[in-house]
Amino acid sequence: MADSAPPIISSQPEWQIDALWCLGDKGSQGIAYQTTCNYGDQFGAVLACQRGNAKATAAIQAAGRTAVNNYLASSQPAHCHKPNAQPSPGGTLPRNGGQPSANQYVSISVNVENASIYTHSFDIHDNVCNADKQMTLAAGETMSVSLCSSGALTDGYASFKAKYSENNTWTNFDEIRAGETRSLN
């Protein structure tokens, strides 16, 4: 990051507070910000960070790309694109069809487990590289899954969400290190 982020002042517009929060977050939202700023602009990186937070997303979108990019220009990490860089379509996905390039992500393997006594199909969404996977696990089965981790971070952890294929409720799994196991149910 630059020397320091602008101080958060309670009289600041909500979108500025939400944008600055992304710069310091160490969880999955911060990872989304860090990886997205590698190939997109600050506006897209902040939207990726705040995805799932409807109030923050609406405030950031209302402020607009130019305002967000200009506001964060002096505090963005050195590895991020500069405000005059061409943002990717929509501001959050790589230009190459949504597939990360080697310098954006590293792949780590984590284990997912069906702790149920029934066979289930699961949908998994990789929160870091924005990719979907589907799998069927037998009762008690554990399977290794390859997930993205930001190449910008040295401690390499993944983040994903999962749901039963026939259900609409997602469960988030954050800060998963290589080799760790998570039960999907």
> What pLDDT score does 178 carry?
81
Domain with residue 172: its CATH number is 2.60.40
In a domain, 179, yes or no: yes
Q: Find the domain containing 140 and state its range.
A: 105-183
63 and 132 in a single domain? The answer is: no
Residues 6+ apart with CB under 8 A from 72: 19, 20, 23, 42, 46
Final residue of a structural domain among 40, 56, 89: 89
Q: E strand or H helix at 14, and its extent?
A: helix 14-24
> What pLDDT score does 152 carry?
52
> What pLDDT score does 116 carry?
92
Report yes or no: 151 and 162 within 8 Å, Cβ to Cβ.
no
Q: Does the pLDDT of residue 162 top 50, yes or no?
A: yes
How confident is the model over 123-136, as pLDDT tens digits? 998 877 777 888 99
How confident is the model over 101-120, as pLDDT tens digits? 444 566 778 899 999 999 99
More confident residue, 97 or 174: 174
Domains of the chain: total: 2
178 and 136 in a single domain? The answer is: yes
pTM above 0.85, yes or no: no
141 and 177 in a single domain? The answer is: yes
Quick one: which of 156, 105, 102, 157 has its CA closest to 129?
105
79 and 149 in a single domain? The answer is: no
41 and 73 in a single domain? The answer is: yes
84 and 109 in a single domain? The answer is: no
- For residues 74-96, average pLDDT: 50
> What pLDDT score does 155 carry?
57
Quick one: which of 181, 185, 179, 174 has its CA closest to 32?
174
How confident is the model over 28-84, as pLDDT tens digits? 888 888 877 766 678 878 888 888 888 988 898 899 888 888 888 877 777 675 544
In a domain, 6, yes or no: no
In a domain, 97, yes or no: no
77 and 126 in a single domain? The answer is: no
Q: Find how far residue 177's CA is from the centre of its chain.
A: 15
